[in-house]
Structure 1
Amino acid sequence: MTHSLKKILLIGGHGRVAQLATSRLVSAGLDVTSLIRRPEQVSDIEALGSTPLVRDLTVLSVDDWADILSEFDIAVWSAGNGGRGGEADTYAIDREGALTCIEALEKLDNPPKFLMVSYLGSLDHDIDPEDSFYPYADSKETVDRRLLASNVEFVILAPALLTMEKAGGVDIVANKPKEGYTTSRALVADVIVELAQRTELPKEKILAFVDGSGQLAQFAELPPQ
């Protein structure tokens, strides 16, 4: 496969999925930069072969994002609060940070292609506002709908409940909430690497996938089950 997308920005580069993707992207011969929040994370990122970029995404302006993004061929949003710090941090990272990033992508004349890591059924969730998961679900729905309305070249990745199992095959499913599905973080990383190496992103704007038996090379060419 021809690697026309050479420079990759992993936003939220110290997260589990991002770290798994980093080593795979580096092994594939791509130039990886990881945007991280804390200086103490630098050594972990360097050990994976990526260039650390220490910035707090919650305070980046549209212009800040535009300056950063303009240097890359593809950007991957894998940042997430993960329930730490409560509702305020979740909205600051998962909603406001992502919305500002999308606005910057729209501002650029030649923006990078964009992969947004979301979750299965984000557009149709029925999470109770009193549930502790609601701020995350609300943020993801807002951001995914904003991205769908944008003119950015993007794909939203929608895995199911994440696990630490080894990556196996992949099944494409309808992007609707459903219990019983799981997606290994390693598989999410493999999907990121697969799409990052392509000359064109799939036509589908939301790719919902779970652990299964399909071949990764056929990803986004399989009909939903």
Structure 2
Amino acid sequence: MRIVIAGGHVQIALLLERELRAAGHTAVGLIRKPEQVPDVTATGAEAVVLDLESADLDAVAQVLEGADAAVFAAGAGPNSGVLRKDTVDRGASVLLADAAERAGVRRFLQISGMGVDTPPTQFGGGDWPAYFSAKAAAEDDLRGRDLDWVILRPGGLTDGPGVGRVTLTDKVSDLGSVPRADVAAVIVALLTSGVSHRTLELVSGDTPVDQAVRDLWTR
């Protein structure tokens, strides 16, 4: 499979690119800055400098031509301001989905965030309301499209090594955490599965990643 990843330099994307390469797939990381190229190519992925905040639809669709799937992993990041929460977390996702439709790429996985529909009270200040609003709008946009979409909402992200065991379901009972490495492993398993039209929440748990994805068929 050839998978195009928006936000190709974020931590989850770099891990995902390595996972895809190890599994025999081709990853293409879309990045904003030329200086990010070496980090992306070091994972075995192709790097394409294309800023989704300024690129037009034709340019993005051209990169997606011939791809089997698109992954939206981009985010404006901390202290980026309210405006960029909208232009990146919502606007760039909408643009990538538009381009996927134009290029005929049906498989689309969007990385969102747990609590987007019901933001936790501890995240009530600063840029957090804009973040949750932008992510919720991006989710709503994707659900309305004729794509084989999956929305993945990880819990709190940690940098520890992946353990390969997760809880992956429509709604987890508590806001937990999950290593970024396990998020990447789950994305690979979802991309190569038939799971679609699901909004899934993800935290660390007791079920091996591949089994957790297989179990989605029985629910």
TM-score by length of 2: 0.89
Superposed displacement of residue 174, structure 1: 4.1
- Pair 1:170 & 2:166 matched: yes
Task: Find 2:132's aligned residue among 131, 137, 154.
Answer: 137
Residue in 1 that maps onto 2:201: 208
Residues 36, 53 of structure 1: 8 Å contact kept: yes
Quote the sequence identity (%): 29
The unaligned stretches of length 5 or more in structure 2 are none
Distance change >3 Å, CA 202–CA 9, structure 1 → 2: same
Counterpart amino acid of 1:202? V
Distance change >3 Å, CA 146–CA 177, structure 1 → 2: farther
Alignment of 1:11-160 (within 5 A): 11-108=6-103, 110-125=104-119, 130-160=125-155
Task: Find 2:188's aligned residue among 193, 199, 212.
Answer: 193
Distance change >3 Å, CA 32–CA 41, structure 1 → 2: same
- 3-state SS of 1:220 partner: helix
Residues 158-203 of structure 1 show CA distances to partners (whole Å, capped at 9, x for unaligned) of 1101111221201124436844x1111011111112223x2x4314
Distance change >3 Å, CA 26–CA 125, structure 1 → 2: same
The unaligned stretches of length 5 or more in structure 1 are 1-5
- 3-state SS of 2:117 partner: helix
> 2-side partners of 1:112 and 1:31: how far apart?
17
Residues 95, 139 of structure 1: 8 Å contact kept: yes
Residue in 1 that maps onto 2:213: 220
Counterpart amino acid of 1:22? E
117-126 or 36-45, which deviates more? 117-126
Residues 6, 73 of structure 2: 8 Å contact kept: yes
Higher relative contact order (CA 8 A, sep 6+): 1
Counterpart amino acid of 1:171? T
Distance change >3 Å, CA 19–CA 125, structure 1 → 2: same
**How many residues are aligned here?**
216
Counterpart amino acid of 2:168? I
> 1-side partners of 2:190 and 2:213: how far apart?
10
Residues 125, 177 of structure 1: 8 Å contact kept: no
Superposed displacement of residue 221, structure 1: 4.0
41-50 or 61-70, which deviates more? 61-70
CA RMSD of aligned residues (A): 2.3
Counterpart amino acid of 2:101? E
